[in-house]
Structure 1
Amino acid sequence: MSVEERKRRERAERESAIVAAARALAEADGWNAVTIRRLAEKIEYSQPVLYSHFENRDAIVAAVALEGFGELALALRKAVKRARDHQDALTCLAGAYLAFARKRPAVYEAMFAMPTDLRFAQAESKPELKEAFAALKDVVAQSTADAEAATETFWASLHGLADLERTGRIRQGAREKRVALVVNGMLA
């Protein structure tokens, strides 16, 4: 291994450690607890080292969000593999999406609520964003001629349900009914 390859590997390992520490702090104490100073202490690097990898806290949040979108895409693709038909695939997709949001609240918050420069539906959108959208679109497209709009609407419905559940603003125990209404709306 060349010196340059070793330096690239070590840099990638440090970036991974920073992102993992940010996720852990956010899951334990919320995003307000995630500061450059606390991250530096947690991973035992100086603040300038963190700044050499990420411009600011928002860039770290964006890195957590990108990981989250990659993980979400995998969870969605895995969920639909066990589906028996199109309706079941939409139901599995919805269930996997809501489960992801519930099990990873800080990551989900980074993906959708925290300030980042991540943008969907643009030529320069990150591959992780495109893959997460494609994981939804591949299933939704089977039930409509306008796959883009239908996927955005399905995603918005799931996001709304996830956010309302996460904040305790809708009745507990009615998820299946709500998912069935969203899925039936997609099939209508």
Structure 2
Amino acid sequence: MSPQTRKERERAERHQRIIDTARELAESQGWEAVTVRRLAERIEYSQPVLYSHFAGKSAIVTAVALQGIADLATVLHQGHEEAASPADALYRVARAYLDFAAANPARYEAMFMMNVDLVWGLDAPQPLIDAFAELEAMFRPFVDEADLGARTEVAWSAMHGLATLDSHGRLRPELRERRLEILVAEWLASVGVESA
């Protein structure tokens, strides 16, 4: 391995270690506990080393969010892969989304509730495009292309609302499954399909 290749690999490993440590700290103590100083202490790098990777906390949170969105896209894709039918895909993808949000509260907060440096829409980074494409794929069998984007955004908003209210303890845990069943039944009814 050339010295240049080794340095690049070490830099990439440091970069990932900063992201992982920020996520772990946020998961255990909340995002307000994540500061460049605390990260530097925790991973035993100087603050200038952290600043050589990230401009500040916002850039670190953005990196955590972007990796979280890539992981979410993978989970949503798996939901599609496991589905027996388009209607089953609605359920499985929504379940995957809500489960991901519940299992990764700090990442979910970074992804969708914090002010991060991510561009949404047509110029979005590839992980955002991929995740949204997985959500669109839920409705593609049921609606025409002209209605696909808006329907997907409404569905995403509903899932986000459930995930957010659930994570803040505003919804009754014993009704989690029933809420998902009702949500999917409403989606199917809105496209003229009866739920099973």
TM-score by length of 1: 0.95
- Preserved CA contact (<8 Å) 1:143 1:186: no
Are 2:125 and 1:132 equivalent residues in the alignment? no
What CA deviation, in whole Å up to 9, does each residue of 1:81-122 have, x standing for no partner?
221211111001111111000001000011011111112212
Moved over 4 A (4+): none
Number of the residue aligned with 2:193? none
Distance (Å, rounded) in 2 between the aligned partners of 1:136 and 1:175: 20
Distance (Å, rounded) in 2 between the aligned partners of 1:144 and 1:164: 28
Distance (Å, rounded) in 2 between the aligned partners of 1:181 and 1:141: 20
- How big is the alpha-carbon RMSD for the aligned residues of Structure 1 and Structure 2? 1.2
Deviation at 1:3, TM superposition (A): 2.9
TM-score by length of 2: 0.91
Distance (Å, rounded) in 1 between the aligned partners of 2:178 and 2:141: 22
Deviation at 1:176, TM superposition (A): 2.3
What CA deviation, in whole Å up to 9, does each residue of 1:104-156 have, x standing for no partner?
10000110111111122122x11111111111111222221211111111111
Identical aligned residues as a percent = 49
Runs of 5+ in structure 1 lacking a partner? none
Tell me the amino acid that sits aligned with residue 61 of structure 1.
V
Number of the residue aligned with 1:141? 140
Distance (Å, rounded) in 2 between the aligned partners of 1:82 and 1:5: 39
Tell me the amino acid that sits aligned with residue 141 of structure 2.
Q
- Preserved CA contact (<8 Å) 1:101 1:108: yes
Aligned residues: 187
Deviation at 1:19, TM superposition (A): 0.3
Number of the residue aligned with 1:107? 107
Deviation at 1:20, TM superposition (A): 0.5
Number of the residue aligned with 1:97? 97
Number of the residue aligned with 2:41? 41
- Preserved CA contact (<8 Å) 1:150 1:186: no
